[in-house]
Amino acid sequence: MRVDQQFDEAQMLHPMTLVQRFLLSLPAFVLLLIPIFRSADSASVVPVVAVIVYGVLALPLIALRYYRFRYRITRKEIVIQSGVLNRQNRSIPIERIQNIEIEQSLLPRIFGTAKVKIETAGSSKTEGVLEFVGIETAHEIREIVRTYQQSREAAATPVNSVASQDTGLTDQPIAPAPARQQDATANTPVFSLPLSRVLMVGVMRFSLLYIAIAFSLIEQMLPNPDELEVWLRRGWLKPLTEYGTDSPWQLTAVIIFSAVLLSWLSGILVSFNRYYGFKLWLESDKMHKRHGLLTLSQGTIPLRRVQAMILRANMLMRRFKWITLEVQTMGLEATGRGHQVVAPLARLPVAMGLANHIGPVTLPEHFTPVSRLTIRRTIVRFTVALLVTVLPTAYFWQPALWGLLALPAIPFYAFQHYKNHGYALQEDTLYVRRGVFRHFIWMIPVSKFQVLYGESSIFQRRLGLETVYIDTAGAGGLALPEIIDVPTEEATALIEACYNRFQQAFATP
């Protein structure tokens, strides 16, 4: 193991890095020189100065960056020291490393070097970059890290097999679902959408996006003035124009109605295309799904990568007691991250049954409400926001004042927000409920918590309120499971309780 020891000492990059970096910086240099080439007379002082500055600043910087850069690989970690003005010393624990990528584009290939990218879970950016090392060194590095990882895993297994992979991303499924073994053998889907239900998905989805598209479509379809003139002269449109001048309100209503109808129909088509033949299978530790009419999409969700489960429903779905189940996943590739629909449209018990394949969850009967003061705060916030946007706009464009018509709706919105906002910490799952037009319920297993936050703005502090947020990997989108306006003591207790459960989940029995 002579090679290993070599990496215990601080290493520098391949000397050819200097040449490569210089070559890579040349395009910028040429760009600076272009004005000189263009005007043959020596009047252009600026580019000359720029070139001198470039020589004085950039070239030494390339050299300094090279000489400052050190990396070191031990049994436990990779340490990377970098930066000239901004010095940085990064430690990446060996067992957190998910992937080591060796990249060799044209220039490095000429010089026999490569770029080594060290990736851990979490952010989409690469955590450690060695640019450039010799190609043999690159392979050695990858080999060594693998050996270290294996030896650490081997050392860890007899003691505790779970603890060695407790990053929350790579760890075991939330809990072994009892029914899983049977499902694995049977090749029948655990969830599928018959044709009528696929149509129903579209019927229920009522997105503002489609309404916007519909309106723009209507605008597109309006005939251009020349055609319109011809039409008018022929008298085809006469009934319509008469109707319009007689009752403009009715005409507006008709236009809006047709836009809504159009958007509704297009929504049905889009959903039909997307969810046609939706089927979901379960296989030991994975979920497979397949759906789509024109483009067939197939997806696999490793259950252990699921970070949270989300139930959501818009107003129409709530009216007819339908619900959508999504999971929030965290993959190594960017495509595997974010939210994935597990059941586009299902009854609540079915959705919960599916969720239970992923982890043990039971919807709490009682959600602890947030403080009633949240109604007042929402009203104040929305009113101020509305006035601040409408009034200055109205100064330039009078009709903006119509926006003030939204004012009476604010208290109603605020009350609905309060009514549907709540949380429950039950067993090993945190449940957060939120939403006005679209209702969400997040189900977050405590073992998937990442960072716990308690936040209070200056206004919240005056009322003794706090916002609690528990971060998970891969969360995002417009709605987050923030618990807004919890009384301070309650918030402190909640954070503490959540953290205790989190600790217990990892306590060795």
Residues that bind other proteins (CB under 8 A): 76-77, 83, 85-93, 95-96, 120-123, 127-128, 152, 155-156, 159, 163-164, 166-169, 330, 449-458, 461, 469, 471-476, 480, 495, 499, 502-503, 506
In total, the chain counts a number of residues equal to 509
Minimum distance, C-beta of residue 470 to other proteins, in the bound complex (Å): 9
What's phi and psi for 306, nearest 5 deg? Answer: -75, 125
- Residue placing its CB nearer to other proteins in the complex, 108 or 474: 474
> Is residue 431 helix, strand or coil?
strand
Minimum distance, C-beta of residue 481 to other proteins, in the bound complex (Å): 11
Print the SS3 string covering 266-310: HHHHHHHHHHCCCEEEEECCEEEEEECCCCCEEEEEEHHHEEEEE
- Residue placing its CB nearer to other proteins in the complex, 2 or 87: 87
- Residue placing its CB nearer to other proteins in the complex, 190 or 473: 473
Minimum distance, C-beta of residue 140 to other proteins, in the bound complex (Å): 21
Distance of CA 185 to the CA centre of its chain: 34
The span from the CA of 102 to the CA of 130, in Å, is 10
| Element (DSSP H or E) covering residue 8 | helix 2-8
Minimum distance, C-beta of residue 65 to other proteins, in the bound complex (Å): 14
- Residue placing its CB nearer to other proteins in the complex, 367 or 499: 499
- Look up tokens 């709530």; give the residue: 318
- Residue placing its CB nearer to other proteins in the complex, 95 or 131: 95
Minimum distance, C-beta of residue 67 to other proteins, in the bound complex (Å): 17
Minimum distance, C-beta of residue 224 to other proteins, in the bound complex (Å): 43
- Residue placing its CB nearer to other proteins in the complex, 163 or 380: 163
Dump the DSSP string for 302-363. EGGGEEEEEEEE-HHHHHTT-EEEEEEE--SSGGG-EEEEEEEEE-HHHHHHHHHHHS----
Measured between alpha carbons, how far apart are the two ends of the chain, in Å? Answer: 37
The span from the CA of 191 to the CA of 201, in Å, is 15
- Residue placing its CB nearer to other proteins in the complex, 111 or 485: 485
- Residue placing its CB nearer to other proteins in the complex, 128 or 267: 128
| Element (DSSP H or E) covering residue 461 | helix 458-462
Minimum distance, C-beta of residue 501 to other proteins, in the bound complex (Å): 12
- Residue placing its CB nearer to other proteins in the complex, 251 or 480: 480
Minimum distance, C-beta of residue 153 to other proteins, in the bound complex (Å): 9
- Residue placing its CB nearer to other proteins in the complex, 100 or 201: 100
The span from the CA of 418 to the CA of 372, in Å, is 7
Minimum distance, C-beta of residue 299 to other proteins, in the bound complex (Å): 20
Q: Where are the beta strands (DSSP E) in 104-241?
A: 113-120, 128-134, 191-192
Q: At what angle do helices 248-275 and 208-221 cross, to 10 degrees?
A: 120
Minimum distance, C-beta of residue 91 to other proteins, in the bound complex (Å): 5
Minimum distance, C-beta of residue 477 to other proteins, in the bound complex (Å): 10
- Residue placing its CB nearer to other proteins in the complex, 90 or 286: 90
- Listed residue (162, 144, 189) closest to 283, CA to CA: 189
224-245 exposure pattern, b = at least 16 Cβ within 10 A, e = fewer: eeeeeeeeeeeeebeeeeeeee
Q: Is the torsion defined by CA of 435, 441, 445, 446 positive or negative?
A: positive
The span from the CA of 46 to the CA of 36, in Å, is 9
